[in-house]
């Protein structure tokens, strides 16, 4: 069974969560593709094959000064640091709808409710498979330096500027394979500490954005226990479904169950199951 946890930011406000499920999912009969970060593992310059035989220095953030026009390097007082890890993680925005695959009888014992709440949308398996749902591959940290796709991306495109159109196309294809259905197995130390500088050279000025990697999760969080599956789209904002495609809604308490049951009775021809999280 595939379960989509809906509006997890409202997991402690059951009434508001139920209202959003009705107004934003059940009434329009659609799920929204969320924008979530995934990451390209980038080999640090001091070990990258492209810089073999060259001296590589790492500038501390203190070497940059924020101005009204962006961020500039303070070239008269450079500070250098030793990188904490041999790899960092470059963030990309991926449009996805996330599900977990879990037997219903195991749901109340799983880790999901603590992070995502107890309000779940269950669409039928055959509908999701037609929409291209796929499982997420979880990679351990020590696999990245031998991962064929990660190595290929780093050798061909890591730190390489001015790509031609064919190179950009190949780069995008590899990135899509790395990002769409892959995730770290756990929040390992190098991932937790990674801060990637996205630098855009503009003459004498530099624009810098700093990304924190998965900062909502504690160190060591085990992503592989989530058993995540995804549907990915680069073009669609929503995934539409029909009344026949919805199998069940899982709710956190009896009040939410009553609200949803009344809504279905009054507005839908086909009434899906409405089950309490604690009883499944």
Quote the CA–CA distance of 206 and 61 in Å, as a whole number: 13
**Is residue 150 very low, low, confident or very high in pLDDT (cuts 50, 70, 90)?**
very high
Neighbours of 61 (CB within 10 A): 12
pLDDT at 135 over 60: yes
Q: What is the pLDDT of residues 212-232, one digit of tens each?
A: 546 667 778 888 888 899 999
Quote the CA–CA distance of 35 and 138 in Å, as a whole number: 19
Does 242 reside within a domain?
yes
Task: Answer whether 141's CB lies under 8 Å from 188's CB.
Answer: yes
**Is residue 195 very low, low, confident or very high in pLDDT (cuts 50, 70, 90)?**
low
pLDDT at 194 over 80: no
Pure H helices in 117-235: 125-130, 148-157, 165-179, 189-193
Between strands 195-202 and 205-212, the pairing is antiparallel
Does 53 reside within a domain?
no
Domain extent, residue 134, equals 2-36+96-195+213-279
The pLDDT of 94-101, averaged and rounded, is: 94
Dihedral, CA of residue 21, residue 24, residue 27 and residue 28, to nearest 10:
-140
Quote the CA–CA distance of 209 and 116 in Å, as a whole number: 28
**Is residue 28 very low, low, confident or very high in pLDDT (cuts 50, 70, 90)?**
very high
Does 58 reside within a domain?
no
- Say whether 251 sits in a helix, a strand or coil: strand
pLDDT at 209 over 60: no
Residue 61 is predicted with a pLDDT of 72
Quote the CA–CA distance of 34 and 238 in Å, as a whole number: 9
Residue 202 is predicted with a pLDDT of 40
The number of domains in the chain is: 1
Does 50 reside within a domain?
no
Residue 203 is predicted with a pLDDT of 42
The pLDDT of 87-115, averaged and rounded, is: 85
Does 81 reside within a domain?
no
Does 66 reside within a domain?
no
């Amino acid at each position: 069974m595939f379960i989509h946890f809906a509006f997890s930011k409202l997991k402690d406000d059951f009434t508001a969560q139920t209202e959003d499920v009705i107004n934003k999912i059940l009434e329009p009969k659609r799920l929204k593709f969320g924008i979530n970060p995934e990451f390209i593992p980038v080999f640090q310059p001091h070990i990258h094959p492209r810089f073999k035989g060259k001296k590589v220095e790492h500038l501390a953030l203190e070497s940059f000064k924020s101005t009204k026009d962006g961020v500039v390097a303070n070239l008269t007082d450079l500070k250098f640091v030793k990188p904490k890890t041999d790899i960092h993680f470059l963030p990309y925005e991926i449009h996805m709808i996330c599900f977990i695959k879990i037997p219903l009888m195991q749901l109340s014992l799983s880790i999901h409710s603590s992070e995502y709440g107890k309000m779940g949308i269950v669409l039928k398996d055959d509908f999701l498979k037609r929409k291209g749902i796929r499982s997420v591959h979880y990679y351990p940290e020590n696999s990245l330096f031998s991962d064929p796709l990660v190595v290929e991306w780093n050798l061909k495109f890591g730190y390489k500027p001015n790509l031609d159109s064919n190179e950009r196309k190949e780069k995008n294809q590899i990135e899509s394979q790395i990002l769409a259905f892959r995730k770290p197995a756990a929040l390992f130390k190098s991932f937790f500490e990674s801060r990637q500088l996205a630098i855009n050279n503009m003459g004498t000025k530099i624009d810098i954005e700093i990304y924190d990697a998965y900062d909502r999760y504690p160190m060591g969080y085990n992503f592989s226990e989530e058993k995540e599956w995804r549907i990915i789209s680069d073009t669609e904002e929503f995934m539409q479904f029909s009344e026949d495609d919805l199998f069940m809604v899982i709710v956190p308490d009896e009040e939410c169950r009553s609200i949803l049951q009344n809504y279905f009775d009054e507005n839908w021809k086909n009434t899906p199951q409405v089950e309490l999280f604690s009883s499944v």
